[in-house]
Every structure is written in structure tokens, then in C-alpha cells.
Amino acid sequence: MLMISPRMASGMQEKQYTPSLLSFFIYNPTFGPREGEEEKKILFYHPSDVEKNEKIRNVGLCEAIVQFTRTFCPTKPAKSLHTQKNRQFFFEPEDNFWIVMVVRNPMIEKPNKDGKPPTVEYQEEEILDTVYGAVVKQCYSMYKLFNGTFGRAVEAGGVEMLIQKLEKFFYRYLQTLHLQSCDLLDVFGGISFFPLDKMTYLKIQSFVNRVEESLSLIKYTAFLYNDQLIWSGLEQDDMRILYKYLTTSLFPRHSEPELAGRDSPLRPEVAGNLLHYGRFLTGPTNLKDPEAKFRFPKIFVSAEDGYEELHLIVYKAMSAAACFMINASVELTREFCEQLDGLVGPQLTLLASDICEQFTINRRISGPEKEPQFKFIYFNHMNLAEKSTIHMRKTASVCLTSVHPDLMKILGDINCDFSRVDEDEEIIVKAMTDYWVVGKKSDQRELYVILNQKNANLIEVNEEVKRLCATQFNNIFFLD
């Protein structure tokens, strides 16, 4: 991405370039061990129009780097390579399968007088290994969610099948990567939970139990409201990547402005007739058309003997969404979809308006929201709970933040420091822009706070963070 900022009275401008994807490739060194067979190692390469010899040369260089670093630490091979112009990230998700992502460093192009070529300054320290290393792992996790492991594809149809699957998946997926907006939330890969009172939560649990009892084919269920999770029957790591797919890909594509959660009207009463706003986000788009063909996406989740393949049914009513997962060996018919629609549609509509009503009442009790002097990110490693007042609502293409990129970089640096030690600790930083940035790590939980109090001292900042913990996290224990 190119950003242009005005400089000097002469009207000369400098150009700022954000991080961008240079290349992304997957290889297995055991598939072409002999001289002259190097091309067989390459399973996927983006961009595809790169000349063959250059692909072989780049893959060979990565192989050499990995082998060289193994001599120093056999159990922990290379994770990244820093150069002036770019950063390379290495990840071995399965034995001998390597994913490499090459990112161009952000840079500033400064114009020169007298017609000389512009001066280029690369900002290599602006890229954090933890953030983009997490992005590479996300790429693999998302592939595995919809295709299973690399090894599974090879077992099922040989290397050719794996190459086809990689081409099909990553051709589309890499277009959705927006490296310029990646930050600390990518490192956490957490889940935002919707706060609920006990009675409404019990209603949702009862709804899930009723549906699973009535439709015995359903193996797992997840329930979300306003893009936040309320209930899940999946393992945490499976739900984490499914949640990312739902909130950054599927839901934004099917957004309904007139029914956007927090602004939804209260439920109108209709005597003798249950309202039904339900519809399928995956599968049949129109149940009234008997000729229309449909199919549900399949996902792979953890099981005792490795993994299991499931149909993914995502059904939405207003701002409530229910995900139903059914064994992939079962053939799902139009009759089953009609049965599910008739059973779930009215109940989910009713639940959605109940949740909205409760949310509106709670907001009214708490009074009008004032613009706080602080913003924060919270993450719990135990249940993957994530909360951020820094990030604005996600769109299909990008997740916007409400603070300057320099402050996001400081948050990332503090997180890097936390990851190096196991002990609980606290870090306080005074930014050049007079903002205070505080990081607290305590008992598998992390809290990052940005304070806009330029005249405050260290003691006052510490007291302000304590007040924040008392009001926002009164049921969570943070060490002082």
C-alpha cells in the first residue's frame, strides 16, 4: 500500500510504502532429493508467473538457511531471516513440509533535488517477527480447517492431489491477506465472547440442547451473537480458527446493515405467529426453489484418532448465528434443510431479539458511554478470551485500529518481551507522542493499556491502570 505525505513548501512529496507480500511458497525437500529434480520439491509458489529457475533458486536458498541454522540448534530451526529490503518467515507445520512467506519491509521514498533518483529508506525494524510469524501459522491452520493436513492429501491422491488443493486454496486465500493491518491480535488469535446474564445464557444452552436432541445428526454446535461467541462444543483450537473464518470472511460477506446487532429493534409481538428471520449462510440460498443445487463446506476438526471431517452449516437470524456440524459421511438432503429451517428459524429469531433486548437494557442501566482516556487489549491464554477497545469493527478486507501505528508497534514490542520470560511482569513505556503504554502479564493473562495523559507521572499512570482493572476486570485477579 502506498501513502503520500506532503513535505516542504516546494510541494515535494515523500512516499510511504507499507509491508506487502513479495512471495509465498510451500516445499518438501524429500520430493526432489537428486540433482535435476529440484522443481519436484516445489508444491506451491506465489506469484505463479515467476520464472522456474528463480523459484528453484529461492527454495534452495531457504533449504540452505534451514540446514545451516540446524547446526546451531537442531530442535529449533530458523523462524525468520532479516535483510534490509525484506523479511522471510519459515514454518514447518508437518515433517519436511515448509511454508515460507517473504514480506517487503515498509519503506519511505524521499525525493531529491536536481532530478536525482529518490532516496529509499527501508524501515526493517517496523516489522515484528511474532506478528508475521503468527500470520504464516494462520495460513496453515485455515488450510487445514478446510482440507485436512498436507500428509492426508498425499495419502489420498499423491503429490498431485496436494498440489491441486494448495493451488485452489491459497490462490484465493492470499488475496485476503492484508499485511499492513496485522498486529497483536494476530499473535493472540483469540475469541471475543459476548457478555450475557445467566438467564439468557441458559436459554441459549436450552436451545442448543433442544436442536441437538431433535436433529440427532448434529454432532457439534456453536452459537454467536454480533460476531461474538456465546457457546461452543468444539475444542478450543478448532473453534479459534473457525471463529476467525466466520468473523473475517463469512459474516462480512453476508452483512445485513438493517439488522446490525446493537441497533436492532426490540421484538415486535405477533399474535399466534412466530417471526422467522432465519436463513442459511452456507448451503441452500433459496429453499423454495426445488431445482436449486446446494452443498455445504466441509471442515476438519480434532478427534481422538486424529481428525474428523464435518459438514459446516451456518444459519443466521438477525444478529444471532448458529453453526451446526454434521459428520461428512452423511448426505444432507433438501428435506433435512427444510426441517432445520422450520425448527431453528423461529427459535433463533426469538433468541436474537431476547439477547438484543437484554443488551439494550444493560446499556441503558450503565448510562451513556463517555470517551475514556484509555484504550486496552486483554487476552486470556487459558480460554482464548480476547477484548479490545483499540480495534474498530472488522470489515471483509481489514481490521481498523483507533490508535497510531507507532503505539501498536510498542504493544507488539512489549508482547515480545513477555514471550521471552515465564514470570509475571509489568512494563510501562512513555511514547514520543506523550502517550503512556502499559503492559501487564499475570497468571496466563495479558493486559495492554494506552493512556492519553501526557502530564501524568509514573505513580499516577500506575493508579489509573489499577482503577481500570477494578472497573473493567473486577472478577479477574491481576498481581500488583
pLDDT tens digits along 289-348: 878 788 899 999 998 888 899 999 999 998 999 999 999 999 999 999 999 999 999 999
Integer Rg of the chain from CA: 25
pLDDT of residue 361: 79
Indicate left, alpha or beta for 443 from its phi (over 0: left) and psi (-120 to 50: alpha).
Answer: left
Q: Can you tell me the distance from the alpha carbon of 103 to that of 101, in angstroms, rounded to the nearest whole number?
A: 6
Mean pLDDT by 10 residues, the chain (480 residues): 48 81 95 83 93 93 90 85 94 95 92 81 90 96 96 93 96 90 92 90 94 94 95 94 93 62 40 70 85 89 89 94 95 92 93 88 65 83 92 61 84 91 88 87 90 81 81 62
CB 145 within 8 A of CB 299: yes
Helix 150-173 crosses helix 129-147 at what angle (to 10 degrees)? 110
Paired with 224 in beta bridges are 229, 321
**Which residues, at least 6 apart from 21, have a Cβ–Cβ distance to it below 8 Å?**
46, 101, 102, 103, 104, 174, 177, 179
The overall longest dimension of the chain from CA atoms, in Å, is 81
Q: Write down the CATH number for the domain with range 374-472.
A: 3.30.450
DSSP for 401-415, written as a single string: ESS-HHHHHHHHHHH
Of 173, 172, 147, which Cα lies nearest the Cα of 94? 147
Closest CA to 278 of 339, 334, 357, 328: 339
pLDDT at 261: 41
At 437-466, the pLDDT tens digits run 999 998 889 999 998 877 788 888 888 888
Tell me the three cell numbers of residue 207: 436451545
Q: d(Cα 244, Cα 241) in Å, to the nearest integer?
A: 5
* Interatomic CA distance for residues 412 and 390, integer angstroms: 13
Asked if 109 contacts 163 with a C-beta cutoff of 8 angstroms, the reply is no
Measured CA to CA, the distance from residue 218 to residue 315 in angstroms comes to 13
Three-state SS string across 118-134, please? CEEEECHHHCCHHHHHH
What predicted TM-score, i.e. pTM, was given to this entire model? 0.88
Lookup: cell for 324: 451446526
Separation of alpha carbons 15 and 1, rounded Å: 10
Query: Which residues does 145 contact at the CB level (< 8 Å), separation at least 6?
Result: 238, 241, 242, 245, 299, 300, 301
Task: Give the Cα separation of 221 and 324 in Å (integer).
Answer: 5
243 CB neighbour count, 10 Å cutoff? 24
Residue 346 cell numbers, joined: 423461529
pLDDT of residue 151: 93
Residue ranges matching CATH 3.30.450 in the chain: 2-180, 198-366, 374-472
User: What is the structure's pLDDT at 368?
Assistant: 55
The CATH number given to 198-366 is: 3.30.450
Distance of alpha carbon 324 from alpha carbon 310, whole angstroms: 9
Q: What pLDDT score does 2 carry?
A: 55
CATH of domain 2-180: 3.30.450
- Rounded Cα distance between 262 and 253, Å, is 19
Peptide bond into 47 cis (omega under 30): yes
